[in-house]
Structures are given as C-alpha cells and as structure tokens.
C-alpha cells in the first residue's frame, strides 16, 4: 500500500499546494494547471477533483476561494472561478403536481427510490419528464460517459479575490480551453424539437456545480442542430424537483438562468391538520434522551440523511465528501436523526489504513419508516417529533393561538421546562430554539403540499 493512500482529501491537497507552490502561482498567473499524474502522487485524481457542491471543496480551496475544473482527460485548472450556482429559493411554495405510474408496471416501486437511475425511470414512466418538457414522443437517447471534444468558454472570477490596486493578473473573467475532457450525462431525452440533458441528484442542497450542465450542453450544442435543454433534477422524500436552465450566452459558463421549475409526486401528498392532530393525540411522550438536542434547522435534510442510508451504511467522511454537507452539518444532521431514533452510529475500520471511523446505519425503526408511502412516512416523522415534550407543547400552543407560532421567547421558555439534555446557557437555548421552530414549520407545511 502506498503511504499516501490513507491521506484524506484535505491533507492530500495541502501536500500538493505546498509541493507545487500553487497559491503563489495562482496569485501571479490567475490560475494553475495541474496534471492528473501530479495529483496521483498523493491520491487517485477521480477522488481529488469531484466536488459537486461548494460544501464539498477541500479546506484549502474554500479558504482561498478556489475551485477546480477538468480541461483535458488528464489535466485540471485551479483558480478563483465561480463554478457553483445557488439554487433559487423563491420556488419553494410551488404546488406539487400529481402523476401516476401505468397500472401494468410491477417492477417499479415509487416509494423505494434508492438511485438516480430509479428516480429517472419513475419520472419517465409516470409522464413527469414528458409533462415538464411539454414535448410529445420523447425517447431516452444519450447517457453515460463520453469525451467532450474541444471548446472554450469564459467564466467569472471571484471578485473578492481581485487586488484593489490591480497589480496581479487576475481579471473578472477567465477564458478556459477544454479538449477531450470527460463528461457524464445522467439522462438525455430527445423529442422532435429538442434534446434535453438531465443532471440528477438524490441529495438536497443549496447549490450545484454548473459544469455538470454546461459541459454536456456545449458538447451537444456543437453536435446537433436541435436546441439543447439543460435540466437539473432532484428526487427526495417522494418529491421530484425539476429545474430548467438556459445559458443566455453559449460561451459564458455563468450565464445560466432559471426559466422553469415544477414539483411532482407519484404518491398523494394530501395531509390535513386533522391527520396531524390525530397523530399528536395518539403519540405518547417519551423521557428526553441523554443525547444532544438537535441543531438542524432543515428537517428535509434529516430525512435526506436517512434516504442516503437506505442502500448502505455510510461513514462520517463519506457523507461529508460525497453529499452537500460540511463536516459540521454532517454532525448536526446525523445527531438529529439519532435523537429521533432513525439512525445509529458505530465504529468501523477503514479498509485503507485500518483506522477506526464513525459509521451510520438506519435503525430497524428508521428502515421501517423509510419503506412507507409518502403520507404514512411524513406522519411517522411527526410521531417521532411529538414524542418529545418541547415540540408537542409548541405545536399545541400553535393550535390554541389560531395557528400562530409562539415567539422565540415563548419557545425558549418551553425548552427550559422540558428537561433537555445538557443545555444550560441562554445562547444555546436561543440557537436550538431555531430548530424547534423550523421543525414545527415543517410539520405545518405538510398541509400546504396538496397535489394539483
């Protein structure tokens, strides 16, 4: 075994930056090209250059506002490039459209989606893809890996990293040349009037890597005469999210603009306040566990952690490196899922260096809940939340106050009388009260997800 095999990605990049004086070279030239063979001296290049979300970037990259892009099959360019796009948040209140699988299909289970391919198959079979594209007779066509051919483009530079006195060679944009790099397309659907290329994800995130849409767009725009449509597709917790972007300037990486967004479900998402109140009334209160009280505001991401664990156990590092979680967020959201009894953690041995690492798996309860239909699953999550006194009391006040949430001060007062484990400072109560409020809002919003 090579001595570098056991290095984590953060440390491996630190070695490369020091060995090649990369920061100084970027400061002078505006960018630095690095060969796969140079990366391979410390770790496999495929693992060292795949960062689907900003949160996945190695520390030396994020600390210095750097990013990396492939430019050939064996080389990459590093610079202050604006490579990620923040997903639009003003689309959250869009109603969910109900779709249906053909009755004769027995091989597709819409409540057990564990891969991008399975989610895409469901979306195609149920008519979600056709409805979103509004194009008849679409046919699955291109997918998988291929070469990029040659093209060039301009990309925005992080303006915070331009010298105010303009003494370095860093400009607000940079032209990049790509030749015979590798692209990957999760799915392509061709109709009479267009070819739609899809990048699919199973993890919820705040951003995505534009390259995953842009490189395939450039390759196929140069290859056929039909318009190319770029679709970002996310499946999580029974909901299909489809975003269509256009590149307003073919040669400008950052020119993408959202032009269409829809949400779909193959299962009914109709949940009423009566359903939630009935669950609350049936739920017995449990003694507060001797576990960290959650600090994880987005309950959807607690669910997402469980989804990621359906097919296999994952280590702390695997969750942090491969999905849209920082190390801190991985800790917060796994702890929240443990608090609810959905997952557990154990020590396992790293296959590379036999070091001990924290690994997570679904509990029997968690696996049972994740196998339920959409409505049953959401109400089961409500049941787990209502087992804890603080959430139960806050929701009861919400109902008594004409469905108005209590103030932060009121929530903190409720937390103080709820025997929470090892919370003894006002600042901690204040931070954790945000999670209480957000989880109750998640429960309330279940009633707003009625399908069209």
Do 143 and 169 reside in the same domain of the chain? no
Do 240 and 341 reside in the same domain of the chain? no
Q: What is the pTM of this model?
A: 0.91
Do 207 and 292 reside in the same domain of the chain? no
Do 243 and 186 reside in the same domain of the chain? yes
Q: What is the CATH number of the domain that holds 353?
A: 1.10.10.10
Q: How far apart are CA 74 and CA 35, in angstroms?
A: 6
Do 117 and 209 reside in the same domain of the chain? yes
Q: How far apart are CA 345 and CA 363, in angstroms?
A: 9
According to the model, what pLDDT value does residue 91 have?
Answer: 80
Do 115 and 66 reside in the same domain of the chain? no
Last residue of a domain, one of 233, 265, 297: 265
Do 415 and 283 reside in the same domain of the chain? yes
According to the model, what pLDDT value does residue 356 have?
Answer: 80
According to the model, what pLDDT value does residue 169 have?
Answer: 44
Do 159 and 191 reside in the same domain of the chain? no
The tally of domains found in the chain comes to 3
Q: How far apart are CA 159 and CA 349, in angstroms?
A: 43
Residue 90, domain member (yes or no):
no
Do 107 and 240 reside in the same domain of the chain? yes
Residue 197, domain member (yes or no):
yes
Backbone angles phi, psi at 118, to 5 degrees: -65, -40
Domain containing 13 equals 9-85+150-175
Residue 2, domain member (yes or no):
no
Residue 91, domain member (yes or no):
no
Do 431 and 378 reside in the same domain of the chain? yes
Do 286 and 195 reside in the same domain of the chain? no
Report the chain (452 residues): mean pLDDT per 10 consecutive residues. 64 96 95 96 92 95 96 96 94 89 91 92 96 94 95 89 46 90 97 97 95 98 96 96 98 97 95 96 95 96 96 93 90 97 89 76 97 96 98 96 94 95 92 97 88 63
According to the model, what pLDDT value does residue 159 have?
Answer: 63
Last residue of a domain, one of 237, 265, 293: 265
Last residue of a domain, one of 207, 232, 265: 265
According to the model, what pLDDT value does residue 354 have?
Answer: 60
Residue 4, domain member (yes or no):
no
Buried-exposed string 282-318: b where 16+ CB fall within 10 A, e elsewhere: ebeeeebeeebbbbbbbbebbbbbbbbbbeeebbbbb
Do 325 and 378 reside in the same domain of the chain? yes
According to the model, what pLDDT value does residue 55 have?
Answer: 93
């Amino acid at each position: 075994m090579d001595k570098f095999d056991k290095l984590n990605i953060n440390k491996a990049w630190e070695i490369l930056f020091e060995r090649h004086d990369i920061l100084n070279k970027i400061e002078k030239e505006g960018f630095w090209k690095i060969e796969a063979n140079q990366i391979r001296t410390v770790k496999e290049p495929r693992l060292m250059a795949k960062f689907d979300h900003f949160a996945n970037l190695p520390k030396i990259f994020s600390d210095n506002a750097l990013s990396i892009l492939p430019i050939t099959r064996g080389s990459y360019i590093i610079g202050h490039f604006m490579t990620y796009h923040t997903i639009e948040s003003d689309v959250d209140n869009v109603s969910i459209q109900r779709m249906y699988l053909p009755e004769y299909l027995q091989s597709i289970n819409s409540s057990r989606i564990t891969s991008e391919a399975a989610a895409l198959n469901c979306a195609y079979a149920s008519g979600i893809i056709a409805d979103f594209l509004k194009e008849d007779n679409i046919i699955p066509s291109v997918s998988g890996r291929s070469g990029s051919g040659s093209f060039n483009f301009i990309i925005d530079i992080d303006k915070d990293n331009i010298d105010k006195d303009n003494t370095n060679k860093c400009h607000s944009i940079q032209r990049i040349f790509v030749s015979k790099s590798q692209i990957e397309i999760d799915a392509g659907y061709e109709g009479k009037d267009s070819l739609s290329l899809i990048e699919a994800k199973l993890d919820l995130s705040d951003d995505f890597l534009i390259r995953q849409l842009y490189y395939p767009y450039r390759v196929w725009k140069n290859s056929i005469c039909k318009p190319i449509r770029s679709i970002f597709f996310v499946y999580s917790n029974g909901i299909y999210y489809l975003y269509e972007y256009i590149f307003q300037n073919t040669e400008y990486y950052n020119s993408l603009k959202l032009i269409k967004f829809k949400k779909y479900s193959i299962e009914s998402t109709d949940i009423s306040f009566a359903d939630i109140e009935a669950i609350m009334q049936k739920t017995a209160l449990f003694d507060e566990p001797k576990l960290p009280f959650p600090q994880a505001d987005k309950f959807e991401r607690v669910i997402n952690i469980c989804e990621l664990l359906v097919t296999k156990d994952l280590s702390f590092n695997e969750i942090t490196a491969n999905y849209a979680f920082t190390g801190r967020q991985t800790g917060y959201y796994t702890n929240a899922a443990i608090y609810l009894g959905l997952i557990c953690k154990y020590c396992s041995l790293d296959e590379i260096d036999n070091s001990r690492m924290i690994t997570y798996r679904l509990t029997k309860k968690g696996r049972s809940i994740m196998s339920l239909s959409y409505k049953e699953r959401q109400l089961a999550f409500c049941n787990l939340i209502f087992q804890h006194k603080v959430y139960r009391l806050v929701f009861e006040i919400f109902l008594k106050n004409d469905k108005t949430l209590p103030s932060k001060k009121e929530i903190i007062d409720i937390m103080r009388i709820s025997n929470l484990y090892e919370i003894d400072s006002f600042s901690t109560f204040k931070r954790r009260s945000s999670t209480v409020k957000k989880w109750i809002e998640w429960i309330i919003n279940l009633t707003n997800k009625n399908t069209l």
